[in-house]
């Protein structure tokens, strides 16, 4: 359904254009200020961090989402999270949106904002506002420059897309390097579609899509102050089957989620944990996520150690209901536990873990519900990068 | 109140004796089988892991605790957790207890058990039972050999003690190297006292003592299948003031908890987070623990980086209620945030973090409740140790 990776530099769905520039927010001089603008008003859906210290952009978008009016643009800066910056940060965030609205000649409340980067430093507003003034000059249909401009410590841009049977398209971008980010407020996911999607249906369905895609990625257990996922639908490609659309959106978001997990700092492989036989889907997902966040299991995966005792430990810690006598665990398709330890060739299973993706399958033995989560391995390089970051 | 560290090799309170031997369970050949025996029947309290995949020893002790009869002995093996070992593991655990009861001539149900080490391997019962037969020959009053025999990857034994005004004593031991343990089921805490303590009062008070001591230590967020805390009181020193006793017990357990945190694999310093101004004590503790388990904050502490944005992030993630406009953060006594970023000398604060203990003080600005948690820094050495452990 999704054809991510086929087109390395896709264009946006019809009616969407993006611009990116280097406004001088990132010390590296890379592009750091970008926007996506829709010719038509968009229905949209939003999911923001559950952090109780959420940044100004999350708070403002959430408020706009409550009001429920259509939006026209999304303005993003990377390099500064504008989080924990007090009343000044709230004003700066509103001023960013107002400035772009003014240049585009749309209402400020039709402009969403997203900031990512260091926490606790005021935005350099002269550079932001100076950049915004010239951003519309750069508008074009390529998605690549936007995907690059929203990165912080990501090593590569993250793009995924899907085409529906009617020809309507979904293009998604995300940022987040999946592991610990020094000072970084971590994850954004933005999806754009020219399908015509009913606003209330989209709002209703979006939380479930986020739950089984982005919320199933876990890398260090830290929830950022700025995390958000947004989908904008401008309707230019006309009506689509709602079920087909949601499945395609979920596919795009799952691809992006796996890209985030695989691009962890110091990560050498993707960790996938599939849990079945659970009492509820929520418990299956919790058990899978707890495995993916476990430093013990992540270390074992890095060392190609088929250390299934750590899966037993992590599942037990998750609180999900388990019948340990009926519980099963397999590593790379090889059964290693079924109510009791099973004999297996450790060297052979270890060799099978020298792969781009390591998959654990777990059955909890108490029901029928399933869930899947993604993470990455934990390497010494990762800690070196982060522990050596200092003043 | 506590005098931990003053006596490096304390003796047990009167009426308690311990034995330790190398039974061949640890490949290293170090002592790995030990017991503590009381001349008199003991009132006791127990707290076990909340893991849903708890080991056989935790399940059996919990069952005995429900029944509520006095106990006479505690049998511990290190090197093998006897967890995820199926019905055989349950039998082996009962047989261990039965064997010691038989040699001591006490009821098997008066013997508690504790196993720690690798998960998912059957106990070498010939060695365990062969050792138990000879254990009583080694019984003596020194606490040091017992504290050493319960270690796995700990770098040093952990002992703390207190003496009450009546002369009654409390001696506590713990194990747990506080960071990721390859295959290890992690934490034990055992306290022994000759104070006479009412059984039901002790049972009632113990969960709160554990909550603000051992449950306030967090190192990698992983809850082991075998964690347990036990206190045995044999009454030989007579009655004590219950309030004085509980305060002394809490002091001993807090000392042990801090020792566990400071002895993390690869850890170079203790991390202490004190949270005040919370709505409830539970929220204060959750916020403090979330800071201590954050890989981001732990990395910053390792790098002497006064990176208070990570405290804002971790507190926000914890879900504790916060008024960010009234929130304050200090690092090593230096205020860095008070509703907005405060100016400070980064080099000076960084220098102050080159210490054995780094303390963050946080006020959430919404109430009066307080809580404190302990952890340690995250170093590259720690990941190297664990990631390079392989088959």
> ipTM score of the complex?
0.71
Residue A268 appears among annotated catalytic residues? no
Nearest to A383 among B81, B121, B299 (CB): B299
Q: Is B181's Cβ below 8 Å from some Cβ in A?
A: yes
User: A217-226, A273-282, B245-254, B359-368: lowest mean pLDDT where?
Assistant: A217-226
Tell me the residues of chain A between 202 and 241 that have a Cβ less than 8 Å away from chain B.
Answer: 220-225
Contact A50 B220 (CB under 8 A): no
User: Does the CB of A325 have a partner CB in chain B at under 8 Å?
Assistant: yes
Q: For residue B353, what is the domain's CATH number? A: 3.10.20.340
Residue among B83, B87, B305 whose CB faces A391 most closely: B305
Same domain, A291 and A232: no
Residue A90 sits in a domain whose CATH number is 3.60.70.12
Q: Helix B380-387 to helix A295-302 angle, to the nearest 10 degrees?
A: 60
Q: How far apart are CA A22 and CA A103, in angstroms?
A: 18
Asked if A293 and B183 come within 8 Å (Cβ–Cβ), the reply is no
What is the reported pLDDT for A228?
Answer: 82
* Mean pLDDT over the full length of chain B: 87
Q: Which of A50, A183, A327 sits opposite B309 (nearest CB)?
A: A183
Among residues A259, A280, A296, the one where a domain terminates is A259
Nearest-CA distance A346 → chain B (Å): 7
A296-318 pLDDT, tens digit each: 888 889 989 988 988 998 898 88
CB contact under 8 A, B296 and A386: yes
> Is A10 a domain residue?
no
Question: Residues B305-326: what's their mean pLDDT?
Answer: 89
**Residue A189 lies inside a defined structural domain of this protein:** yes
Same domain for A210 and A243, yes or no, is yes
Say if A140 falls within a structural domain: yes
Taking CA–CA distances from A122, the nearest residue in chain B reads B341
Give the gap in angstroms from C-alpha A145 to the nearest C-alpha of chain B. 29
| pLDDT, position A229 | 82
Average pLDDT over residues B157-182: 78
Comparison of pLDDT for A90 and B179, the residue scoring more: A90
**Does A215 appear as a known binding residue?**
no
Please report the sign of the dihedral spanned by the C-alpha atoms of residue B145, residue B90, residue A314, residue A350.
positive
Determine contact: B293 vs chain A, CB below 8 A.
yes
Position B2 scores a pLDDT of: 47
Alpha helices by DSSP H, listed for chain B, are: 56-67, 86-104, 125-134, 144-149, 199-211, 242-262, 281-293, 295-302, 309-318, 346-352, 380-387
Q: Flag if A312 and B84 touch (Cβ within 8 Å).
A: yes
Nearest CA in chain A to B317: A51
Residues of A in contact with B390 (CB under 8 A): 303-305, 350
Q: Which 370-389 residues of chain B touch chain A by CB within 8 A?
A: 377-380, 382-384, 386-389
Q: Are residues B208 and B140 in the same domain?
A: yes
B89–chain A nearest CA distance, Å: 9
φ, ψ at A297 (rounded to 5°): -70, -40
> How far are the Cα atoms of B173, B218, B301 from residue B268, in angstroms, in the given order?
22, 16, 10
Could you give the CA distance from residue B250 to residue B258 in angstroms, rounded to a whole number?
Answer: 12
B390 is in an annotated binding site: no
What tokens appear for B247 in the block? Answer: 């305060």
Q: Domain boundary residue among A227, A259, A291?
A: A259
The answer to whether A343 faces chain B, any CB pair under 8 Å, is: no
Q: Does B269 touch chain A (CB under 8 A)?
A: no
Residue B103 pLDDT > 90, yes or no? yes
CB pair distance less than 8 Å for A313 and B52: no
Same structural domain, B207 and B337? no
Q: Could you tell me the residue range of the domain that residue A283 belongs to?
A: 270-387
Helix, coil or strand: residue B55: coil
Most confident of A298-312, B26-40, B189-203, B302-316: B26-40
Q: Please report the number of interchain residue pairs, chain A to chain B, with beta-carbon separation below 8 angstroms.
A: 238
pLDDT at residue B70 greater than cutoff 90: yes
CB of A59 closer than 8 Å to CB of A49 = no
Residue A203 is encoded by which pair of tokens?
């709002």
Q: Which of B2, B43, B116, B186 is catalytic?
A: B186
Picking from B185, B337, B390, the nearest residue to A303 by CB comes out as B390
* A249 and A275 inside one domain: no
Do residues A85 and A191 both lie within one domain? yes
In chain A, how many domains are there?
2
Can you give the pLDDT at residue A345? Answer: 93
Residue A391 and residue B313: Cβ atoms within 8 Å? no
**Which residues 93-152 on chain A approach chain B with CB closer than 8 angstroms?**
118-122
Say if A268 is an interface residue toward chain B (CB within 8 Å): no
Residues of B with Cβ-Cβ distance to A222 under 8 angstroms = 294-296, 313-314, 317
A207 & A283 share domain:
no
Q: Determine, yes or no, domain membership for A25.
A: yes
Partner B contacted by A48 (CB < 8 A):
no
Name the burial class of residue A270, with classes exposed (0-12), middle (13-18) and buried (19+) by CB atoms within 10 angstroms of its CB. Answer: buried
- With the CA atoms of B145, B149, B150 and B155 taken in that order, what torsion angle do they form, in degrees rounded to the nearest 10? 90
Domain end (from B208, B233, B259): B259
What is the structure's pLDDT at A91?
Answer: 97
Check CB contact under 8 Å for B185 and A295.
no
Query: Which of B52, B312, B380 is opposite residue A120, by nearest beta carbon?
Result: B312
Within a domain: B5: no
Residue B158 counted as an annotated binding residue: no
Q: What is the DSSP string of A241-291?
A: -HHHHHHHHHHHHHHHHHHHHHT-TT--SEEEEEEEEESSHHHHHHHHHHH
* Range B94-100 average pLDDT: 98
B269 labelled as ligand-binding? no
Interface test with A, best of B383, B385, B389 (most A CBs within 10 A): B383
Asked if B348 and B250 sit in the same domain, the reply is no
- Kindly give, in sequence order, each residue whose CB lies less than 8 Å from that of residue B11, ignoring residues fewer than 6 positions away: B141, B142, B143, B171
A45: closest CA of chain B, how far (Å): 22
Cα B48 to the center of its chain, rounded Å: 11
Pairing between β-strand A188-193 and β-strand A270-278 as defined by DSSP bridges: unpaired
Q: Is B175 annotated as a binding residue?
A: yes
Mean pLDDT of B212-239: 77
Smallest Cβ distance to B387: which of A220, A302, A309? Answer: A302
Task: Write the CB contacts of A66 (distance below 8 Å, at least 6 apart in sequence).
Answer: none
Q: Which residues of A touch B86 (CB under 8 A)?
A: 324-325, 339-341
Say which of A116, A186, A272, A286 is annotated catalytic: A186
Pairwise CB contact (< 8 Å): B391 & A346: yes
Same domain, B118 and B212: yes
Residue B272 assigned as binding residue: no
Whether B280 has its CB under 8 Å from any CB of chain A: the answer is: no
Are residue B53 and residue B198 in the same domain, yes or no? yes
Q: Would you call B51 an interface residue with chain A, using a CB distance cutoff of 8 Å? A: yes
Please report whether residue A314 resides in a domain. yes
Quick check: is B375 in a domain?
A: yes
Q: CB-based contact (8 Å) between B345 and chain A?
A: no
Q: Is residue A1 part of a domain?
A: no
Q: Which is nearest to B146 in space by CA: B2, B6, B1, B16?
A: B16
Residue B182 pLDDT level (bands cut at 50, 70, 90) = very low
Residue B48: CA count within 13 A, CB half-sphere: 23
Q: What residues of chain A lie within 8 A of the CB of B315, using their CB?
A: 52-53
- The answer to whether residues A373 and A282 belong to one domain is yes
- Both tokens of B243, joined, read 């309030």
* Min distance A102 CA to chain B CA atoms (Å): 29
B147/B243 same-domain check: yes
Contact flag B120-A183 (C-beta cutoff 8 Å): no
Which regions of chain A are under pLDDT 50?
1-7, 178-185, 389-391
Q: Is B182–A315 a contact, with Cβ atoms under 8 angstroms apart?
A: no
């Amino acid at each position: 359904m999704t054809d991510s990776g086929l087109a390395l530099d896709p264009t946006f769905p019809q009616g969407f254009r993006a611009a990116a520039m280097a406004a001088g927010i990132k010390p590296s001089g890379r592009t750091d200020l970008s926007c996506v603008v829709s010719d038509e008003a968009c229905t949209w859906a939003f999911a923001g961090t559950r952090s109780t210290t959420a940044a100004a952009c999350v708070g403002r978008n959430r408020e706009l989402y409550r009001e429920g009016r259509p939006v026209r643009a999304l303005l993003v800066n990377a390099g500064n999270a504008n989080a924990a910056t007090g009343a000044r940060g709230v004003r700066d965030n509103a001023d960013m949106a107002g400035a772009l609205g003014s240049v585009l000649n749309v209402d400020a409340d039709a402009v969403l904002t997203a900031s990512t980067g260091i926490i606790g430093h005021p935005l350099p507003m002269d550079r932001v506002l100076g950049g915004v003034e010239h951003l519309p000059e750069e508008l074009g249909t390529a998605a690549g420059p936007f995907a690059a401009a929203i990165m912080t410590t990501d090593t590569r841009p993250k793009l995924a897309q899907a085409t529906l049977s009617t020809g309507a398209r979904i293009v998604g971008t995300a940022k987040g390097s999946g592991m610990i980010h020094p000072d970084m407020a971590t994850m954004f996911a933005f999806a754009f579609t020219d399908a015509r999607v009913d606003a209330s249906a989209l709002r209703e369905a979006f939380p479930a899509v986020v739950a089984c895609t982005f919320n199933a990625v876990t890398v260090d257990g830290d929830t950022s102050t700025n995390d958000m996922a947004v989908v904008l639908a401008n309707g230019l490609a006309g009506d689509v089957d709602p079920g087909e659309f949601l499945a395609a959106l979920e596919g795009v978001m799952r691809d992006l989620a796996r890209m985030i997990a695989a691009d962890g700092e110091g990560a050498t492989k993707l960790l996938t944990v599939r849990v079945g036989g659970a009492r509820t889907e929520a418990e299956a997902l919790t058990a899978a996520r707890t495995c993916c966040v476990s430093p013990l299991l992540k270390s074992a995966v890095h060392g190609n150690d088929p250390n299934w005792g750590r899966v037993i430990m992590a599942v037990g810690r998750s609180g999900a209901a388990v019948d340990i006598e009926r519980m099963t665990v397999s590593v790379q398709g090889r059964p290693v536990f079924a109510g009791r330890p099973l004999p297996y060739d450790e060297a052979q299973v270890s060799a099978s873990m020298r792969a781009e993706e390591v998959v654990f399958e777990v059955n909890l033995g108490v029901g029928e519900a399933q869930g899947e989560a993604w993470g990455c391995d934990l390497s010494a390089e990762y800690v070196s990068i982060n522990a050596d970051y200092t003043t």
